[in-house]
């Protein structure tokens, strides 16, 4: 074989080895910002991502989030909530009171995970071994879900500075999501019946700003009218947004807010934690309810390769493994996730729950799509990027999932 051939082999080996090095430090920079304000916001978002990533293991990430809330002027609004006996992680809650009675939740989890046999063992004990098992993690936890935390914190800082806000905004940064939605399940269980009635909307942000896929709103989780509203908002802002779906068994922190009961809670425990789901926990003591949720994630995140990675417990997917790195984040898309949600909240805060032109009361989820925006399925089953100047394309709606 020629010397040139062996040089090529050496170059490939060097590139592969470089790709396997776990380097939490990042040189993320805002690119293509259209204005000084947008550039500053993008830098703040990226700083939040890097702060969480640099926290290291999950308890350290929680501490890093607390420090970041102080830097953003949110420290006085933060409270901590214990999740349970099996983890040191806590829920972090930023409460921003408004003049109206309704509550709007913004939810994101700060913990990370690798899929491997050690994680499976820890999850069977409801995450009790997380601090030890996390020594084996190669993931930065940047996309999943430092990005969601960054957007939630930036929204909190923006909302806090708005003197005309109507709803009370509750930013819930959960721990233990990767161990079976532990944080959100406990939080929902601890809410009183009166408090649950005040919840007008829950926005869950999980894995946005990916370099490899645009942001999506999840159609079969999100009511039709909110999907249409999110698309029209993105269109008006000239930003990219798609409509996605989650396969059966894939979930996030929106689930306990969307539908909950003792039977569902027990079922989630068995699905995510196996026999560990039978261990008594605070989240069992919950009342039955349904709620309206909106979920934002990267499109096609639960790809066949990602599902296969989870099934065989080898972390080769885009998330839950070494490929989830800071350099896999697109700063522009990260900013767009913030901007689209901020505009949706601005319009909702201005108009209130009653009298929305784009939502009408209907059914257990509370909303249906008005007839003038009736959606039809497209042949691909996925609405690709919706950008400024395009007409609103048809929406694919999958069947309901838990």
Instruction: Supply 344's token pair.
Output: 């949706």
Please report where in the chains the tokens 């009298």 appear, as a residue: 355
In the predicted model, is pLDDT for residue 257 greater than 70? yes
Tokens matching residue 244: 């996605």
CATH code of the domain containing 83: 3.40.630.10
At residue 364 the predicted structure's pLDDT band, cuts being 50, 70 and 90, is very low
* Number of domains the chain contains: 1
Residue 30 lies in a domain: no
pLDDT at res. 353: 45
Q: What is the pLDDT of residue 277?
A: 82
In-domain check, residue 227: yes
Select the highest-mean-pLDDT range: 9-13, 63-67, 219-223, 368-372.
63-67
What is the extent of the structural domain holding 239?
Answer: 36-373
Confidence of residue 351 (pLDDT cuts 50, 70, 90): low
Q: Is residue 368 part of a domain?
A: yes
Q: Tell me which of 116 and 353 has the higher pLDDT.
A: 116
The confidence score (pLDDT) of residue 87 equals 86
215 pLDDT higher than 90: yes
Residue 8 lies in a domain: no
Cis peptide before 167 (omega within 30 of 0): no
Which runs of consecutive H residues, i.e. helices, occur in 199-303? 224-237, 255-258, 262-273
In a domain, 288, yes or no: yes
| Rounded Cα–Cα distance for residues 87 and 81 (Å) | 12
Question: pLDDT-derived band of residue 13, with 50, 70 and 90 as boundaries?
Answer: very low
Structure-block tokens of residue 232:
């029209």
Residue at 29 is within a domain: no
| Largest distance between two CA atoms of the chain | 76
Residue 311 CA to its chain's centroid (Å): 22
Q: Which residue has the higher pLDDT, 385 or 164?
A: 164
pTM: 0.80
In a domain, 319, yes or no: yes
Confidence (pLDDT) at 370? 34
Q: What is the DSSP letter of 383?
A: B
pLDDT of residue 228: 93
Between residues 306 and 30, which one has the greater pLDDT? 306
With contact defined as beta carbons under 8 Å apart, do 157 and 97 qualify?
A: no
Q: In this prediction, what percent of the chain has a pLDDT beyond 90?
A: 58
Is 132 part of a structural domain of the chain? yes
Each residue of 314-339: pLDDT tens digit? Answer: 999 999 999 999 999 999 999 999 99
What three-state secondary structure class fits 106? strand
Flag whether pLDDT at 28 surpasses 70. no
Structure tokens at 397: 């709606």
The pLDDT value recorded for residue 124 is 87
CA 239 to chain centre: 19
CA distance 226 to 388: 19
Q: Which residue has the higher pLDDT, 14 or 10?
A: 10
- For a pLDDT cut of 70, what percent of the chain falls above it? 78
The strand pairing partners of 103, in sequence order, are 168, 199
């Amino acid at each position: 074989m020629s010397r040139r051939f062996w040089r090529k082999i050496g170059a490939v080996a060097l590139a592969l080895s470089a790709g396997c090095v776990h380097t939490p430090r990042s040189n993320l920079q805002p690119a293509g910002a259209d204005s000084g304000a947008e550039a500053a916001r993008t830098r703040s978002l990226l700083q939040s991502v890097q702060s969480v990533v640099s926290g290291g293991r999950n308890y350290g990430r929680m501490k890093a989030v607390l420090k970041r809330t102080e830097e953003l002027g949110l420290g006085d609004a933060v409270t901590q909530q214990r999740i349970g006996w099996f983890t040191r992680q806590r829920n972090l809650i930023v409460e921003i009171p408004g003049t109206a009675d309704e509550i709007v939740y913004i939810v994101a989890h700060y913990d990370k995970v690798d899929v491997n046999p050690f994680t499976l063992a820890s999850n069977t004990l409801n995450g009790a071994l997380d601090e030890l098992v996390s020594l084996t993690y190669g993931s930065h936890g940047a996309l999943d879900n430092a990005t969601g935390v960054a957007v939630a914190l930036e929204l909190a800082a923006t909302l806090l500075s708005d003197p005309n806000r109507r709803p009370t905004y509750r930013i819930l940064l959960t721990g233990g999501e990767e161990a079976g939605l532990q944080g959100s399940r406990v939080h929902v269980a601890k809410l009183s019946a009166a408090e649950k009635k005040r919840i007008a909307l829950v926005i869950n942000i999980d894995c946005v700003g990916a370099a490899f896929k645009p942001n999506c709103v999840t159609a079969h989780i999100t009511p039709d009218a909110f999907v249409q509203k999110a698309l029209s908002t993105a269109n008006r802002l000239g930003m990219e947004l798609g409509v996605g779906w989650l396969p059966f068994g894939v979930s996030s922190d929106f689930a306990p807010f969307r539908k909950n009961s003792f039977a569902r809670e027990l079922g989630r425990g068995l699905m995510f934690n196996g026999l560990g789901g039978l261990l008594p926990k605070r989240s069992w003591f919950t009342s039955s309810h349904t709620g309206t949720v909106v979920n934002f994630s990267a499109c096609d995140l639960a790809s066949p390769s990602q599902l296969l990675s989870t099934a065989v417990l080898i972390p080769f997917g885009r998330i839950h493994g070494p490929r989830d790195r800071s350099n896999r984040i697109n700063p522009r898309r990260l900013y767009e996730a913030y901007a689209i949600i901020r505009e949706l909240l601005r319009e909702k805060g201005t108009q209130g729950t009653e009298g929305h032109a784009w939502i009408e009361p209907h059914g257990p989820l509370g909303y249906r799509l008005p007839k003038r925006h009736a959606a039809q399925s497209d042949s691909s089953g996925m609405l690709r990027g919706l950008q400024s100047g395009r007409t609103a394309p048809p929406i694919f709606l999958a069947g309901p999932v838990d």
